[in-house]
Amino acid sequence: MARTTASETDKMPSGIPYIIGNEAAERFSFYGMKAALVIFMTQYLHLMGKTAGDPMSSAKANENAHWFVLAIYVTPLFGAIISDRFLGKYKTIIWLSLVYCAGHGALALMGLAGPAVWWLLAGLGLIAIGGGGIKPCVSAHVGDQFGINNQHLLTKVFNWFYFSINLGAALSNIFIPWTLERYGPHWAFGIPGLLMALATFLFWLGRNEFVHIPPAGKTFTQEFLSAEGLKTVAKLCSIFFFIPIFWALFDQTASSWVFQAIDMERSLFGLEILPSQVQAANPFLILILIPIFTYIIYPTIDKVWKLTPLRKIGIGLFITVFAFGTSALIQEWIDAGQRPNIIWQILAYALLTSAEIMVSIVCLEFAYTQAPKSMKSMIMSIFLLTVALGNGITALVNLYIQTPSPLAKAASQAHSAIKQNKAETSPHHQSWQSLVYPGHDGKLGTDDDITTHFTNKAVIKKRDVPAEAALTQATTRIESAVLSNNGTLPQTDAGNQLLAEIKDPWGNPLTYRLMNGDTFRITSMGPDKKALTKWDTGIVVKYAPKSQDSSTEETKPTWLDKRKAELGVTNQSDHSFFPESDFEKHFIAGGIYKLEGANYFWFFTGLMFATAVIFVPVAMRFKTKEHSPN
């Protein structure tokens, strides 16, 4: 019969190794899947069907990724209720782990049958239910293994618990992005599924070693809704209120920091690393820094200044400001056409990881120690809800900064035409290989119409957009400046001066923006004469000299290369219309971000600074209360 109370030993509980092993494997599965997610959505998802569609924008991928993380940190509320009210932690973890495995299976099957996006949604939804549901139970289950005589080991075990999380994350962040590039999404999402199955099996093996705290039943509801329970929740929420902003920044290591890494020099100790692999810096640094903080930094500071949990959290929030400020400076260099080495982003990771240790780990333990016995999982889930809220903030920001495109359904119309095997399927009876869309005036046959040209496999090869003549004239002028300046692109201000007298058909000046060291964008406000609307048009140009291409060593084709060849996709530019050019270019309609470049990173840096400043007086007024671990 399973034990329901902790033993009186002063040594480490016997069930801890099974929990640590389970956590390492589960975190490998989650972070491996997450490491591949935004790159998959922008570069692979649109190629998973029988025909190719438009790739997802980076802002949309950021938004989707953060909505997913929001979901996986909202479901802990339901997992906590199931655990504390009905099943207990062990049964909740086992059953929801099986749902978790099913989610990974759905991701691995994307593209084999039916629309890939539905498999993606199903997989992420099941992972959110399963993975999110077990989160408050696993960390609370760790604390349940301790009694009065060995509770002094609790801090050390929570640190090693976090150590196992980051061991799994470190390995998966290196291995899974490489797997995605070389062997494709089926293996990249399938391997994490196998690790989740292993995690479930390891947890089951420890069933006879664990302390099984039974569900509180009605006691849980009564204590949670009691004056003391609600007071405890309200007190903790006064601290937790500040933590979502930390997560709004921290979780962008899997989104905006990945896209930033694409524009950086990624040679590290002679090895070329993939943009997604840079995420491994965080768990590797955790493995290094946790012992340093635990055994050196905390004891040293504590000798001269009592380092309470709330003081640690406050310091961590300010360190986060410097971490994201570093990423903003990196983006300033990229916006100026430089290509900074990835070591600068690793410096930002070092700062952010230090902040994580002082905010996340400390909050994890703080939430547990402040919770009454029957509310452990619920209090942990409320803490985890801060992660959801933080990702919701980032998702909303990324949703806001996107402007729509009037061509959102262009590819789907062409795909439908192929499926129906008809030559004329558009509402205006055009050939599907050259679809025309009415512009701002809503009428066909006027100068603001937009035409999309497709290959015979429904791959978009070019767009004809309003103001194309002016955009082409401006592009020619910038290209001449690039070639006369040994391949160096003009800075944003200098480029705008070069285009000062060129106007679009509606009398609007064109806008030049340097995107990075080899790419620039020229835009027109369009017929509505308003910036940042869906009627903006533009051209994105990348300087890619053919002489450099021909000298590049031939490399083994990736899964993506092979897939594009199958679908007849060469690249996402209008290169076939400019075959002799050293500049790859494609025309755009809408889709320009309201907040981009360094301004995006400075926005979040300022938000974090304001949060950290306000946290200080609130934390100073908070009075802690210790509860027995069992």
Kindly report, residue by residue over 71-90, the tens digit of the pLDDT.
998 888 888 788 877 888 88
Does 382 share its domain with 464?
no
Residue 288 and residue 147 share a domain: yes
In terms of phi and psi (left: phi > 0; alpha: psi -120 to 50; beta: otherwise), the region of 405 is beta
* CATH of residue 235: 1.20.1250.20
Reported as a single tens digit per residue, the pLDDT across 307-340 is: 888 999 999 999 999 999 999 999 999 999 999 9
Task: Please report which confidence band the pLDDT of residue 576 belongs to, taking 50, 70 and 90 as the band edges.
Answer: very low
Same domain, 516 and 577: yes
| 222 and 99 co-located in one domain | yes
Q: Among 10-19, 179-188, 587-596, which is the least confidently predicted range? A: 10-19
For residue 579, the model assigns a pLDDT of: 52
Would you state the pLDDT for residue 535? 92
| Claim to verify: residue 261 and residue 180 sit in the same structural domain | yes
Residue 446 contacts by C-beta under 8 Å, 6 or more apart in sequence?
A: 438, 439
Whether the predicted pLDDT of 12 surpasses 90? no
Residue 553 has pLDDT above 60, yes or no: no
| Amino acid 429: pLDDT | 42
Same domain assignment for residues 168 and 288:
yes
Q: Is the pLDDT of residue 183 over 80?
A: yes
For residue 348, being part of any structural domain is answered with yes
Residue that the structure tokens 């959290």 belong to:
313
In the predicted model, is pLDDT for residue 566 greater than 80? yes
pTM of the predicted model as reported, rounded to 2 decimal places: 0.87
576: which 2 tokens?
Answer: 């076939």
Residue 241 sits in which domain range? 16-402+598-621
- What does the block give as tokens for 6? 């902790």
Same domain, 379 and 305: yes
**Range in 144-158, 262-276, 563-577 with the lowest mean pLDDT:** 563-577
| Range of weakest confidence among 146-150, 289-293, 595-599 | 146-150
Whether residue 245 is predicted with pLDDT greater than 80 in this model: the reply is yes
- Give how many domains the chain has, as a whole number: 2
Q: Is the pLDDT of residue 430 over 50?
A: no
Long-range Cβ contact pairs of 14-19 (< 8 A, separation 24 or more): 14/209, 15/145, 15/206, 15/209, 15/210, 15/211, 16/142, 16/145, 16/157, 17/206, 18/202, 18/203, 18/205, 18/206, 18/209, 18/210, 19/138, 19/141, 19/142, 19/145, 19/161, 19/203, 19/206, 19/210
Given a cut of 90, whether residue 627 has pLDDT beyond it is: no
The chain-wide mean pLDDT, for the chain, equals 85
What is the model's pLDDT at position 420? Answer: 57
* Average pLDDT, integer, range 417-442: 62
**Does a structural domain hold residue 629?**
no
Cβ(127)–Cβ(100) under 8 Å? yes
Q: Is the pLDDT of residue 119 over 70?
A: yes
At 121 the pLDDT is: 93
User: 513 vs 548, which has greater pLDDT?
Assistant: 513
Say yes or no to pLDDT of 626 above 70.
no
In-domain check, residue 491: yes
* Residues 27-55: tens digit of each pLDDT: 899 999 999 999 999 999 988 887 777 78
pLDDT at position 229 is: 72
Tell me the pLDDT tens digit for each residue of 365-411.
787 777 776 666 677 778 888 999 999 999 999 999 999 888 766 55
Q: Are residues 128 and 244 in the same domain?
A: yes
pLDDT attached to residue 457 = 66
Residues 176 and 250 in one domain: yes
Pick the residue with more confidence: 554 or 398?
A: 398
Higher pLDDT, residue 598 or 579: 598
In this structure, the answer to whether residues 173 and 232 fall within a common structural domain is yes
Residue 629 has pLDDT above 80, yes or no: no
User: Do 446 and 307 fall within a single domain?
Assistant: no
Is the predicted pLDDT of residue 14 greater than 80, yes or no? Answer: no
How much is the pLDDT for 571? 55
Percent of the chain, pLDDT > 70?
86
Of 62-66, 80-84, 103-107, 298-302, least confident by mean pLDDT is 80-84
How large is the angle between the packed helices 281-292 and 154-183, nearest 10 degrees? 160
